Structure 1
Amino acid sequence: MRPSIHATRPRDLRDDAIHTLVRYGVNDQGSSPLIMTEVRHAGGAIRATSGDASPIGHRDVDYVLSLVAVTPTPETQQAVAAHVAAFKADLAPALDGVYMNFLDGDETRTCTKDAYAQAHFQKLMQLKARYDPQDRFCHSFNIPVAA
């Protein structure tokens, strides 16, 4: 079985965002393909680090949302992916980037950019072009080579 982990960063948790969390995390029939819908408070050390001290962005958000499911078959992988996509689409007005530590699977490639402030990501792409133009370090949280 393969875990499916998805992470994002809600800016705030107003009533409409909370209703979305409950609807997708539990749903009306009391079931969901997710085994965990976790909201963590992201203050403290995350927020205390200056935005210029690290390229990691979105340090000013209050919460980190982590969604976890077990996907033993391709069918359940597709069902979870569809559920998470709909969940994130409905929650989109409250979201701001991703939290890199919780990215998993395809999201480590498709959402890495969303973990950085835009200017920092551009700088990382320039550094990648200079020091790794063949893109040998391309696994996990890949930074593409700047064009």
Structure 2
Amino acid sequence: MASAWRINKVTQELDNLRTGNTPISEGGRLATYRRALETGGASATRALELRLFSRIAFIRHIANALVLLGLVGTVVGFIIALGQVNAANASDVNAIGGIVGTLIEGMGVALYTTLVGSVLNLWLAANYQLLATGTANLAAALIDAGHA
């Protein structure tokens, strides 16, 4: 949800810059950047880039955390799968059914958590790439407009 909101916000700001609908008198990023250029010079450009990219970095971190959570779920699934396996019961035909049921349940947990973590990571990584490209375009447009 946060990534969709950020993508929408960056897109709106880019559209406003391209169409000239960015009211300088009301403030906004362009007016703030122009004031910073007057006082800070070249460091204002770097500060603008840092501010813009710092607002999307958390999405990349969440995507990476999802992979780790998927791996943790895999370990938990293996613990569930092997938790009730007893080497002494392996030769008991009556106990095999319960052991196999537990193994299947644990492997299901392991595989589903890996799948969910991986799919969500891919989705957020794609969102982050869209945001990074849009943010770079926004920074370039603000820098160009600020120097114009």
Flag whether TM exceeds 0.5 (same fold): no
Question: TM-score per shorter chain, which class?
Answer: under 0.3
Q: Give the helix-richer structure, 1 or 2.
A: 2
TM-score, structure 2 as length reference: 0.23
* Structure of greater Rg: 2
TM-score, structure 1 as length reference: 0.23
Q: Give the strand-richer structure, 1 or 2.
A: 1
**Greater relative contact order (CA < 8 Å, ≥ 6 in sequence):** 2
